[in-house]
Amino acid sequence: MRNILAIVERELRAYFSSPIAYVVLTIFVFLSGIFFRSILAQVMQMALMSQMQAQQLGPRPMDMPGMVSRGFLSTMSVILLFIMPMLTMGLFSEEKKRGTIELLLTAPITDLEVVLGKFFAAGAFYAILLVSTWIPMGVLYLYGSPASAPILTAYLGLLLYGLAIVAIGLFISTLTENQIISAVLSFGTIMVLWLVDVVAQNAEAPASKEVLTYFSILSHLDDFMKGVLSTSHIIFYLSLMMLALFLTYRSIDSLRWRA
Amino acid sequence: MITVENLTKRYAAKTAIDGMTFQVEKGEILGFLGPNGAGKTTTMRIITGFMPATDGSVRVDGFDVFDNPLDVRRRIGYLPENPPLYLEMNVTAYLRFVAKIKGVPKERLESEVSRVMERVSIADVKERIIAKLSKGYKQRVGLAQALLNDPPVLILDEPTIGLDPKQIHEVRQLIKDLAGSHTVVLSTHILPEVEQTCHRVIIIDRGKIVAVDTPSNLRFQLQGAQRISLEVQGPAFEIMSKLKGVPGVVEVRKLEEIDGRHRFQVEGELRKDIRSDLAHVVVQSGWGLYELQSATMSLEDIFLKLTTAEEAGKPESN
């Protein structure tokens, strides 16, 4: 455990002693502000329209804060998709390039500890990104009173989703010495997992449609966003994460043989 | 302390190490000598557990590298060919990190880090970012890292590379001081380094051990193949043929001519002193003998002789 913590600490230090942490955080906070504002404007317009309709058709209840938070967090999930490869691209590729992998793999620690240390470090940075979305979310709480349950499940969903993506990026960073290639490959893989959704919509056979939808990394977030906790979605993200971590572990092992 | 048996490492296309067997005693400094690509780094990487061997076994302090990797790694301090440094860290933070993953207890962490910094004299740069250090300092930070937690075995891959002469001297002295309480295996292609620091030398070439001995014995062994330089006044051609006729002479080479005096280099057979015979022939023929000098072969010559002899035996080599 102490070894894992030592690696987590070093990775977090590395994030914050290079510009990457600040660039990623700044861009993310900036984008989340812009999207929050535009979603808020959209919802306000919808509210105005429904008020006008209400005069003719009678009043209809509308959960404005809920709509804003749902719209906002769904948009954030897509933005995170683009940002995550930047957090994971260097995790192993830099160690390989600089030769520090030789230090880690000859120190009296297990490969699993190395893998988990890096995973938790990137996961912790991801958590920081999630926390930063509380700047606009705080505004929502300040001026409205959204129902907390769906927001909590949405964050749980985002956390699981993010950790699965971190694990995928971690695995891909073991495959190359080049950070850029690592980032592009991670990005491509995540895009494929995202876009199977689109393919699924056009699929003709219902069975293939169902299978493809299952593999879409974003489709599993919907229920979390609506406030529904379903074990099948939790299991999807956890198993994707475990699979990627297992592949990372194996990849490190094969690195030794090929080195 | 270290037992290597029949160690073999094969890659798809080539064999990097071919059936190496050797032992390193406790407290000994063993030097690995060989041209680039001879398998020095690969051997070290297998001993440290960085990569597994294709065949054969390595035991460190009784623990098998493959079966008990953590027990072995706890006993080894390793300085790879490129010091494994996190360039964005400062020296102290880096050494603290390495100390932690090497299992230095929390309460000893600070004292251990300052101990190794003193040892390789880098305390003056302890707050500096590693990326900003000179090559010599970086190399010493790498060495400091290997010394953390005071492992009984040190594996140093080219420890003095990139250092200036004064630093080289300091590092060699440091290695010598470590001997006795530590077992040291170092690799180098700098020959004087081996002569000055090592108790025993293993010369390897293309993954095989060509010679194992103390530096002085190695020299003695091949000293038999005497090299003698002669300066003689007389007809060059005749001198050459006369000298070749002396029993025990393997080769005669004419070097240069100064004022009618010719300089020859004569190589004799193993362990046969031909000096008096040479003098006798020259004097008897009535030529003037100005100089007769036996030149000891340096380890460099021995090394070349051993590695090129190997090559001659293997004509079909790429």
| Segment A154-159 mean pLDDT | 94
Q: How distant is the Cα of A243 from the closest Cα of chain B, in angstroms?
A: 25
Q: Does B237 touch chain A (CB under 8 A)?
A: no
* Closest-CA residue of chain B to A259: B51
- Does residue B314 lie in a domain region? no
Are the CB atoms for B22 and B212 separated by under 8 Å?
yes
- Does residue B305 lie in a domain region? no
Place of tokens 């040190």: B154
Q: How distant is the Cα of B42 from the closest Cα of chain A, in angstroms?
A: 9
Place of tokens 């292609």: B189
For an interface test with A, give the residue of B72, B85, B86 to mutate (most A CBs within 10 A).
B86
d(CA A24, CA A17): 13
For an interface test with B, give the residue of A12, A103, A105 to mutate (most B CBs within 10 A).
A103
| Candidate from A9-13, A57-61, A250-254 with smallest mean pLDDT | A57-61
Query: Residues 6 or more apart from B107 whose CB is under 8 A from it?
Result: none
Q: Do B74 and A108 touch (CB under 8 A)?
A: yes
Domain match, B69 and B153 both: yes
Domain match, B214 and B249 both: no
Residue B271 has pLDDT above 90, yes or no: no
| Segment A97-112 mean pLDDT | 94
- Does residue B96 lie in a domain region? yes
- Does residue B316 lie in a domain region? no
Q: Does B86 touch chain A (CB under 8 A)?
A: yes
Domain match, B209 and B96 both: yes
- Concatenate the DSSP letters of all residues of A135-184 into one string: HHHHHHHHH----HHHHHHHHHHHHHHHHHHHHHHHHHHTS-S-HHHHHH
Domain match, B98 and B236 both: no
For an interface test with A, give the residue of B71, B100, B130 to mutate (most A CBs within 10 A).
B100
| Segment A139-160 mean pLDDT | 89
ipTM of the modeled complex: 0.88
Q: Which residues of B touch A106 (CB under 8 A)?
A: 48-50, 73, 76, 78
- Does residue B275 lie in a domain region? yes
What 3-state DSSP class applies to B31?
Answer: strand
Are the CB atoms for B216 and B64 separated by under 8 Å?
no
Does an H or E element contain B303, and which?
A: helix B299-313
CB proximity under 8 Å: B 8-37 to A: none
d(CA A208, CA A70): 29
d(CA A12, CA A124): 8
Residue B280 has pLDDT above 70, yes or no: yes
| Segment A242-247 mean pLDDT | 97
d(CA B150, CA B116): 9
- Beta-bridged to residue B261, according to DSSP, are B233, B258
* Closest-CA residue of chain B to A1: B101
Q: Do B101 and A109 touch (CB under 8 A)?
A: yes
Residue B128 has pLDDT above 90, yes or no: yes
CATH number (domain holding residue B264): 3.30.70.3190
Domain match, B128 and B199 both: yes
- Does residue B312 lie in a domain region? no
pLDDT band (50, 70, 90) for residue B228: confident
Domain match, B129 and B184 both: yes
Supply the pLDDT for residue B218: 73
Output b/e per residue, A76-113; b: 16+ Cβ within 10 A: bbebbbebbbbbbbbbbbbbbebebbbbbbbbbbebeb
* Closest-CA residue of chain A to B41: A259
Q: Does B142 touch chain A (CB under 8 A)?
A: no
Residue B35 has pLDDT above 90, yes or no: no
Q: Do B50 and A110 touch (CB under 8 A)?
A: no
Query: Residues 6 or more apart from B77 whose CB is under 8 A from it?
Result: B145, B146, B147, B148, B149, B151, B153, B154, B155
**Over chain A, what is the mean pLDDT?**
90
Q: How distant is the Cα of B190 from the closest Cα of chain A, in angstroms?
A: 23
Domain ranges of chain A: 2-258
Q: Does B226 touch chain A (CB under 8 A)?
A: no
pLDDT band (50, 70, 90) for residue A147: confident
- Does residue B101 lie in a domain region? yes
Residue B310 has pLDDT above 50, yes or no: no
Are the CB atoms for B127 and B161 separated by under 8 Å?
no
Supply the pLDDT for residue B307: 63
- The token pair that represents B137 in the structure block: 């300092």
Query: pLDDT tens digits for A170-181?
Result: 999 999 999 999
Residue B311 has pLDDT above 60, yes or no: no
Please state, for a pLDDT cut of 90, what percent of chain B lies above it. 40
- The phi, psi pair for B56, rounded to 5°, reads 90, 180
Running DSSP on this structure, what letter comes out for residue B48? T
Domain match, B110 and B198 both: yes
d(CA B141, CA B120): 8
Domain match, B216 and B245 both: no
CATH number (domain holding residue B110): 3.40.50.300
Domain match, B86 and B49 both: yes
pLDDT band (50, 70, 90) for residue B192: confident
Supply the pLDDT for residue A183: 94
Single residue among B168, B199, B221 that ends a domain in this structure: B221
Q: Which residues of A touch B49 (CB under 8 A)?
A: 105-106
Domain that holds residue B269: 226-296
Query: Residues 6 or more apart from B139 whose CB is under 8 A from it?
Result: B83, B159, B160, B161, B162, B163, B167
**What's the number of domains chain B is made of?**
2
pLDDT band (50, 70, 90) for residue B313: very low
Residue B281 has pLDDT above 90, yes or no: no
Supply the pLDDT for residue A211: 83
